[in-house]
Amino acid sequence: MAKLSEYSAKRRFEATPEPAPAEPAHAGGPLLFVVQQHAATRLHYDFRIECDGVLYSWAVPKGPSPNPADKRMAVFVENHPYDYASFEGVIPPRQYGAGEVIVWDCGVYSPDEDGVCFHDRAQAEQRVRDGLKAGKLSLQLRGEKLKGSYALVRTKEAKSWLLIKHKDRFVSTDDITAQDRSVLSGLRVRELKFVAPPPRVPASHLVPAGDPAPMPAKLAPMLAESGEAAFSHDDWWWEPKLDGYRVLAFVDGDKVQLKSRRGLELAKTFPRLADALREQAGGGTLVLDGEIVAFDAQGKPSFNALQNRFQLKSAVDIANADRTVPTLLFAFDLLYFAGIDLRARPYRERRRYLAQCLLPSPLVRLVHAAPDGEAMQEAALASGFEGVVGKRLDSRYEAGKRSKAWLKVKPVQSAEFVIGGYTRGKGARDALGALLVGYWDGDALRFASGVGSGFDDRTLAAVLARLQPLKIERNPFAEKPDVPGPITWVQPELVAEVNFHEWTGDGHLRAPIFVRLRDDIDPRGVRRSESARPAESPPRRGKRTATAAARAATPRTTASSPSGDIASVLEQLANTRKTLELALGPHRIRLSNLDRVYWPASEELESPALTKRDLLAYLAQVSPLMLPHLADRPLTMIRMPDGIGGQRFFQKHWDQARPDFVETVTVWSGSKDGQHEYLLCNNLPTLLWLAQSGTLEFHVWHSRAKPAPDCVSQSTDYASSLESLEASVLNYPDYVVFDIDPYIYSGKEARGAEPELNTVAFEKGKEIAFALRELLQGMGLEPIVKTSGKTGLHVFVPIRRMIDFDAARHVSELVSRHLMRQRPKDITMEWSVPKRSGKIFMDHNMNVRGKTLNVAYSPRGEPAAPVSMPLSWEELASAHPLDFRMPGVIKRLSRTGDRWSDALTRKQDLERALKK
């Protein structure tokens, strides 16, 4: 492509992850703009607009500004391919533009000097060409951060332009670049040095794009099932449940319709809203799903105020009410925009398009959404809303259907029911004792309950007045309700909202309470709504107290760390004293210097300072999962008594006094021709005592000092001689190890230093790990994997203890050499460090008896307190070591449990596989 020749000439696509030139994959729709933040030699912003299949691009050193007084220099650079719009990642050292890139903002744009034309792509492109040629281009931007009109103006220098904000309602003096996270991944640009590049979103999915389709003439809204409780899960987002009238807003040029759930036209009832929506479309087309909400004098949402507002008919009364009872439309879905039907797109995309395309105004707002369901519910209730609505990020818009892909959660269950009759009461309630309510099941009206609670004198009189004109002689229910006293039947035309505890086994409501009448709901559309959890019952995740986190992280408690002990430890550590005696059952551990900082705060990594107290709390909470990996294995400690910035030393043997609860094993040392005592970390007191002693890293043998049926040897004589050790169970490992160690440098290391943690190195290590897995699976073996906590990966093949360390080392070497022959440019087994440079070093000698690796869940003595984290292979695909840091691991484990441990216990028959 001639328009991209300069772009191609500057890049080697075998070395950079940037996309190669290609034709755009979409067919039509509004034009795209994107702003990428680029940490190259200097941090700057790249402003790009789509036209004629490429991205015209300007480098803006200081970034865009919403202040018209700021005239930002914008240097015209080479065109970029359309697919570059979604590029986030790291351009490697020594490549053009080396550095990190995020999508700072993106959205749709249109030339706006003579009105916008989002709906007419051909006209928009022609106006862009004319503007670029003339050296002045005025644009309306609809992004998540940048909104309103901007101008690009060429100076006397051909490539020097100015980016200037026009005066409109989006003018601000705020520093918008302080909003420094990607609109796609949520990452900051500096974080890409330390985390895995996010999965690439196709550029054609960034904004509404595709084949034009006619705007739907009518729609029914998608409805939510009732849920038991809010939760937090990576596949769900949550919104406040608004207490108002659900509407679909259809805007076609100057024509605006506001359709209620019953299909009523509300545009004339809310004329100011209709005017505000007309401005949203800018002469084009738009369909929004949202809720009309009114507020009381205290600023709380008020359904009663909205109903009173709804009853007004005269233009004068409506105009007065608009001044005294403001009604707002909160938009939560975008179904159609500028000729593109979006109903088949997943909610995660529709939500992004809504955030881009909506131009917030005093009367039209974007509803807030977030992944933390529990926090959202707490905030929603505190703000006076009914509850929350959860939506699966992959859910399509199912118009007119009630779907479990959307869940509504209230403090109590609530649903709408059709009124089919009422009973008489006693005393002051003589005229109306209880409403008889039900729901439609096909053509049959099923009785659900009598509802006699929730009335005061005012609502009692109002409901009775609405019921009396509807009296009929016959029973409208499919069965006769079993209720005492005489019944007055009514036409099933009124809908009541009812709170209740639950559905009973015989299909009735327990503890129903009348809330209000719902004139906005079609009685023929009322169906039974079951309380539901999501189909796959995602685990809950959210903020917890320390004790709750300990319980959540204890899927299988053991005698060595019962959950009661963990809770006790956390409660004692909550004491702010720097020194205390920790009581753990019958044991006592004296703790000192609890506020000593072991991991200093890092602004670059956005990590807080972590103390010895934090380490003890982490180890206590993770102990049910960590101790099984430590149990019965000779331990090597890496101690850092003064923290990661002080002295650090390996310690294999413990010659000092030790508490009675610490177990040991005596092992013959072939190198020193004698016996040495190793510690075993078999219980929670030992784990915490080691932390008090400054042990930050826990490294273990690959074999256990414990006989079991899976081992060909049952000997426990490890100490008599070298021969006895070689004949014992300690000479038979539980797994074959593959140590994947990247020697790919960031370019910032001191001379002679090991490679620093960097994304390019880790991604290459992951690539080799997946290739190794494929090779092992071809042998009938299923490996498991964990991060080292630094740059590397540890891949294990669990085996029956039928081969010794020498054989395990030989197997690792054979497999590694075979993989190296397949990928000679990527893998090395050279011992010379200079010869490893730029490659992945596979160290089969980790399979030697006495060699150790850091145990699963062990912290590392590195900035930000990374943890050696077991992962599923699916998780590894998008993982990075700094995704797993001490403060966040407990929360993660409360959701996932320890699947790695489960895999480790499933032994494979290595001998059978080797015969292949």
Active-site annotation, residues: 241
**DSSP per residue, 112-123:** -BTB--TT-HHH
> Which residues lie closer than 8 Å to 886 by C-beta, 6 or more apart?
599, 610, 614, 615, 618, 859, 865, 866, 867
For residue 348, give every residue at least 6 positions away whose Cβ sits within 8 Å of its Cβ, in sequence order, or none: 237, 393, 394
Residue found under tokens 């389709």:
213
Q: Are 48 and 55 in contact (CB under 8 A)?
A: yes
Give, in order, the Cα–Cα distances in Å from 575 to each of 176, 584, 599, 613, 707.
Answer: 42, 15, 21, 10, 42
- Report the relative pairing of strands 43-51 and 31-39 from DSSP bridges: antiparallel
- DSSP letter string, 568-624: HHHHHHTS--SSEEEEETTEEEEE--TT-EEE--BTTTTB--EEHHHHHHHHHHHHH
Residues with Cβ < 8 Å from 609, sequence gap 6 or more? Answer: 597, 599, 600, 601
C-alpha distance from residue 275 to each of 257, 258, 599 (Å):
11, 11, 57
Side-chain half-sphere exposure of 194, counting CA atoms within 13 A: 21
Q: Are 731 and 713 in contact (CB under 8 A)?
A: yes
Distance CA 620, CA 562 (A): 10
Phi, psi of 316 (to 5 degrees): -65, -45
Question: How many secondary structure helices (H) and strands (E) does the chain include?
Answer: 20, 45
Q: Are 141 and 151 in contact (CB under 8 A)?
A: no
Cα separation, 696 vs 642, in Å, equals 11
Find all residues with CB under 8 Å of 519, minimum gap 6, and list them: 262, 307, 310, 495
Q: Which two tokens stand for residue 439?
A: 């729901």
Phi-psi region of 585 (alpha: psi -120 to 50; beta: other; left: phi over 0): left
Q: Give CB contacts under 8 A, 24+ apart, made by 590-594.
A: 590/692, 591/616, 591/692, 592/692
Tokens of 572: 């004692």
